[in-house]
Amino acid sequence: MSGSIFGKIFRVTTWGESHGPGLGVVVDGCPAGLPLAASDIQTFLDRRKPGQSPFATARQEADQAEILSGVFEGKTTGTPISLLVRNTDQRSRDYGNLADAYRPGHADYSFETKYGFRDYRGGGRSSGRETLGRVAAGAIACKILEKLNIRIQAYAFSIGPVEIQSFDPDQITRNPFCMPDAQAAQKAREYLEQCKKNQDSAGGVVECTIQNCPPGAGDPVFDKLDADLAKALMSIGAVKAVEIGDGVKVARSCGSQNNDGFHYDAHGSLTKTSNHAGGILGGISDGSQILLRAYIKPTPSISQPQATADKKGENINLQIQGRHDPVIVPRAVVVVESMAALVLADALLCGMSARMEYLEKIWKR
């Protein structure tokens, strides 16, 4: 069955392989009247573009997006928006020797057992390059959220064992790791240099905050905002755990500690006195900051030899060539942000139908 369509109203269909002619996305259900230019998309794509640091793959791709439909005179028309990015630097020859191998940590074996065979060039559809379509669509979702004064921001919370100790948002764009802590970034650099020396790779954590989300987004009982965010983040290739708010820590907490009380301040506006819940209660946004964390595994493609098997029935000693990121966390930052934006934009569109008074506001004559 199809699994490349995401969302209920704001519906995103991504397509494309690492080494095919190109990749892209169709966004169906974007409201009409949103100002949109190719440069809006490009800004986002540039944040995940390869070849920008010694800690990312050396593959050179312009990743230039073309808007093929759905925009007229600078505004979305309400019809499907089709975006196309051509592949230009694919080197399939790098993958010839991998055609039969089941690379450890990769989806070679599982794709092959599912579909009967697989496009072995660069992971095909299971390549990290697949996230390109997500990011292009995420750029549109972020434009919608911007119009509602909602701001999403993701950054690297940790790389390998190196966690941030302070938070300076300006730092995020000043180091190749997207870390909001200059000192941690320096330590991450040292750690990654050691990884490269060891022909090894590192993982890390991406944290994402959503500011100024209005209360009321998310649809119990299955399409809860946190449930859809969990799916969105876990659907990113290398993510193995997702947290909302205090996350794993809640399991050891007590009700009296973990409960967030409500409070009217001196001006009569309601806030919570704490935010262990991470901005979501009962699957619905509560108006406070939403906080997410995605745990990302180390890049499976490492250049040290690995024992594994191939489809011909042989146990082999595999050495992976090619241009691989020693850590994908920094490039995953914009992917996490994009996926969170897709979920939230969709939840807000879905939430428009929550009340009769909203329906009457739009349609009653």
Please give the size of the binding site for its own copies, defined by CB under 8 A.
Answer: 171
Binding of its own copies by 223 (CB under 8 A): yes
Contact predicate 158/341, CB 8 Å: no
- C-alpha span between 156 and 11 (Å, rounded): 28
Minimum distance between the CB of residue 16 and its own copies, rounded to whole angstroms? Answer: 5
- From residue 72, alpha-carbon distances to 67, 96, 234 in Å are 10, 44, 35
Q: Is there binding between residue 100 and its own copies (CB under 8 A)?
A: no
Round to whole Å and give the CA distance between 166 and 169.
Answer: 10
Give yes or no for residue 296 binding its own copies (CB under 8 A). Answer: yes
Q: What are phi and psi of 43, to 5 degrees?
A: -55, -40
Q: Give whichever of 45 and 339 is closer to its own copies, judged by the CB atom.
A: 339
Among 62, 94, 167, 216, binds its own copies (CB under 8 A): 216
155 is a site residue for its own copies (CB under 8 A): no
162-201 residues in contact with its own copies (CB under 8 A) are 195, 198, 200-201
Of 37, 91, 240, 319, the one binding its own copies (CB under 8 A) is: 240
Radius of gyration of the chain (CA): 22
Q: Which of 91, 93, 174, 263 binds its own copies (CB under 8 A)?
A: 263
**Which residue from 298, 309, 301, 300 is spatially nearest to 102, judged by alpha carbons?**
309
Binding residue (CB under 8 A) for its own copies from 165, 197, 267, 357: 357
> Is residue 50 at the binding interface for its own copies, with CB under 8 A as the rule?
no
| Binding of its own copies by 24 (CB under 8 A) | yes
Residue 266 interacts with its own copies (CB under 8 A): yes or no = no
Q: Among 57, 171, 175, 299, which residue sits at the site for its own copies (rule: CB under 8 A)?
A: 299
User: Is 298 a residue that touches its own copies (CB under 8 A)?
Assistant: yes
Cβ count within 10 A of residue 302: 21
Single out the residue of 59, 297, 327 nearest to residue 192, CA to CA. Answer: 327
Tell me which of 74, 165, 197, 222 binds its own copies, using CB under 8 A: 222
Contact (CB, 8 A) for 62 and 51:
no
- Residue 355 zone, left/alpha/beta (φ > 0; ψ -120 to 50; rest): beta
Query: One symbol per residue from 108 to 147: x for binding its own copies (CB under 8 A), - otherwise; what is it?
Result: -xxx-xxxxxxx----xxx---x-------------x--x
CA angle 207, 332, 43 (to 5 degrees): 105
Smallest distance, its own copies to C-beta of residue 39, A: 17
Stretch that binds its own copies, among 53-61, 164-172, 176-184, 351-359 (CB under 8 A): 351-359
Give whole-number Cα distances, 244 to 41, 130, 227, 278, 312, in Å: 28, 25, 10, 6, 44
Q: In the complex, what is the shortest distance from the CB of residue 51 to its own copies, in angstroms, rounded to a whole number?
A: 20
Q: Is residue 243 involved in binding its own copies (CB under 8 A)?
A: yes
Q: Which residue, among 133, 129, 171, 165, has the nearest Cα to 328 in the 3D structure? A: 129
Contact pick of 38, 62, 182, 241 for its own copies (by CB under 8 A): 241
